[in-house]
A = this chain, B = another copy of it.
Amino acid sequence: MKYPPSLVALIRELSRLPGIGPKSAQRLAFHLFEQPAEDIERLSAALLAAKSELHTCPVCFNITDAELCDVCSDPSRDQNLICVVEEPGDVIALERSGEYQGLYHVLHGVLSPMNGVGPEQLHIKELLPRAREGLEVILATGTTVEGDATALYLQRLLEPLGAEVSRIAYGLQVGSALEYADEVTLGRALLGRQKIRG
């Protein structure tokens, strides 16, 4: 039995997506086959529209459909605070926290020499001209080995330019019990202890 070429093509395209192996791609393809044509057309159109309308903000490299992104073009945001993150999804996560009113800079990755990602592959050279006296840069790359290394690398570049550089806090997750925290996190949480303001 030969499979119809259009089914094979769809399974192949779906299995290129991250986290979707050949089996999931096949299941997705069969699921899509069962959906009404309007749904498939809507998904297909959403893909094309997103690709044609979206681009990165030339200042912070967040995703936007305007000339500047919503954050960069908002004068009410704190212009003396830049939070450096790995991916556009991190901006969404931070915005959702509601705690942050400054600007962003999206690196689009993290230093990873093993995977051939050096400083040139990230939006680091565009971050440096934004550094100046009176600016605080919060390094909010992930708390992985690569995230830490990237933060250290950026700190060494940014401090000579006069910016104050900080790292997002390590510590216990909110709502978690001490006994379930790993030793490294617990150690960092102790080191990062803060005075209780009464």
The residues of A with any CB-CB pair to B shorter than 8 Å are 1-7, 9-10, 12-14, 16-19, 24, 26-34, 37, 39-54, 63-66, 69-71, 74, 87-89, 91-92, 95, 108
With A4-B54, A48-B44 given, is the CB distance from A28 to B33 under 8 Å? Answer: no
> Nearest 3 CB-CB pairs, A to B?
A4-B65, A10-B50, A40-B51
Chain B residues closer than 8 Å to A12, beta-carbon distance? 46
Chain B residues closer than 8 Å to A26, beta-carbon distance? 89, 92
Q: How far is the CA of A51 from the CA of B13 in the complex (A)?
A: 14
Chain B residues closer than 8 Å to A7, beta-carbon distance? 50, 54, 63, 65
> Apart from A9-B46, A13-B42, A41-B51, what are 18 other A-B pairs with CB-CB below 8 Å?
A1-B91, A4-B53, A4-B54, A4-B64, A6-B53, A6-B65, A9-B49, A10-B46, A17-B32, A18-B27, A18-B28, A27-B89, A33-B51, A33-B54, A40-B47, A43-B47, A44-B47, A44-B48
